[in-house]
Chain A
Amino acid sequence: MNATNRGVNRTVLFLVGVVLVAVGAAVVAAQLWPAAADAWQTTASNTLAWMRQADEATRIAEGTTLSWMAVALLALLLVVVVVVVVMIARLGGGRTSVLLREEATGGAQGAVTIRDGFASDAIRHSLAGHDEILASRVTAHRMRGTDVLHVSVTARQNASPADAAKTVTGLVDKLSVLTGREMPTLVSIHAGIRARLASETPRVN
């Protein structure tokens, strides 16, 4: 539940996919179909001739290999690399450490900030006493200007997800009473390697 822009991810996949399909289809057509092979060769030799001519015409100085054409190509490649690096750097993120902030209201009370560590400690310690929950992780995320609490727990094998959910949401409700603020909360209950390794829920309680 991070701030990754999923539309960008899918757009990248779609565009690269379309390019690959187009290249593959063009090469296969050029191999199997004489008309397509002719078209391929004419286009390719025309493009190559144009590039060579542009390369000659835009030489920066006599007797060098450097041309504006080459510079433009390199700049284009650089732009591609920079855009890609920026896109990769923007993946993930969106975690916030401030759970809620109460501004100073005059009088004796100053500004109050509650950090996610507080919610995390409170919920994790309370969950430690519950047998059906093996592990928990509490994070706060900022989505569209609202803070969302995400409580992720690993349930013991065979434990009822409804019971586990009730346990966790009960604790979240208590936390919201404690802080005096309702926070939108997403609870996710996972199976995992820990659930498989730990013993099952006891059959006699």
Chain B
Amino acid sequence: MTTPILKRATRRELHSPRTVAAATVLVLVALAAVYAGVEIVLHLLRLDPLLVTPGAALDGVAALPDIEAKPAVIAGAVVVGIAGLVLIWLALTPGRRPRHRLDLPPHSVVVDNAVIASSSAEHVRRELDLPRGAVVVGVGHRSADVTVRPVPGQAVDKNRLRTVLKDELTRYGLPAGMSVRARVLRPEEGNGER
């Protein structure tokens, strides 16, 4: 994390490039432009339009407020508006990927949240001597949560659970500011296996 170039590479790895959305939008814009061009050329050649002649299309747009099927038009316009809002949302939100940067200078290490979750769950499971599948860890951008279902007769202290997970996450080099929530479920009836 020392050099600016590595910082940049890391930032790019942590955020979505929005390439899929942008490429989809660009392709749709190109298709719309090509279609409009084709209709204009057909009209100039005095051939039948594919769907509608340019003049009729523009007249239709002008007459939109007088149209009979008002609810349908409004519904369509609302759908268009919502699509626009989604695009604006995609453009402005950071688009963080479910990944974390580990502090291991001088190199830069980026880890999927799923890797952190499965590894720390295994660690918690061994540390607290719990059966397989009894520990579920979720890792988010700023928080992690752990849910434990002990076997009947086994007591799990919530604070200990939180400390164990927090220590493990710190050992990985995750930012110390991550909040950790712990939850202990009631032991399952039977042999405790899920």
Q: Which residues of A contact B (CB under 8 A)?
A: 1-2, 4, 6, 8-14, 16-25, 27-28, 30-32, 37, 40-41, 44-45, 48, 51, 65-66, 70, 73-74, 77-78, 80-81, 84-85, 87-88, 91-92, 141, 143-144, 146, 148, 150, 155, 157-162, 164-166, 168-169, 172, 184-191, 195, 200-201
Contacts and interface: CB of A to CB of B under 8 A. Distances in A.
Nearest to A55: B55
A195 B115 CA distance: 9
Question: Which 5 A-B pairs rank lowest in CB-CB distance, beginning with the nearest?
Answer: A24-B81, A20-B84, A17-B87, A44-B62, A21-B84
Contacts of B185: none
A165 B107 CA distance: 9
Contacts of B85: 17, 21
Contact of B112 (A148, A190, A200): A190
B58 A51 contact: yes
B164 to A, nearest CB: 14
A1 B18 contact: no
Interface size class of B (residues with CB under 8 A): 35 or more
A159 B119 contact: yes
A185 B62 contact: no
Given A6-B18, A162-B171, A191-B115, A1 B83 contact: no
Contacts, number: 242
B61 A44 contact: yes
B88 A162 contact: no
Contacts of B70: 31
B18 A148 contact: no
Contact of B33 (A18, A80, A143, A185): A80
Interface of B: 3, 5-6, 8-10, 12-13, 15, 17-19, 21-23, 25-27, 29-30, 33-34, 36-37, 40-41, 43-46, 58-59, 61-66, 70, 73-74, 76-92, 99, 102, 104, 107-112, 114-116, 118-119, 121-123, 171-173
A14 B88 contact: yes
30 contacts: A9-B21, A12-B25, A13-B22, A13-B25, A16-B84, A20-B80, A23-B81, A28-B81, A30-B65, A41-B63, A65-B44, A65-B46, A77-B33, A77-B36, A78-B37, A80-B33, A146-B3, A158-B119, A160-B123, A161-B102, A161-B172, A165-B109, A184-B108, A186-B110, A187-B108, A188-B109, A188-B110, A188-B111, A188-B112, A189-B112
A184 to B, nearest CB: 4
A116 to B, nearest CB: 15
A191 B83 CA distance: 32
A17 B86 contact: yes
B77 A24 contact: yes
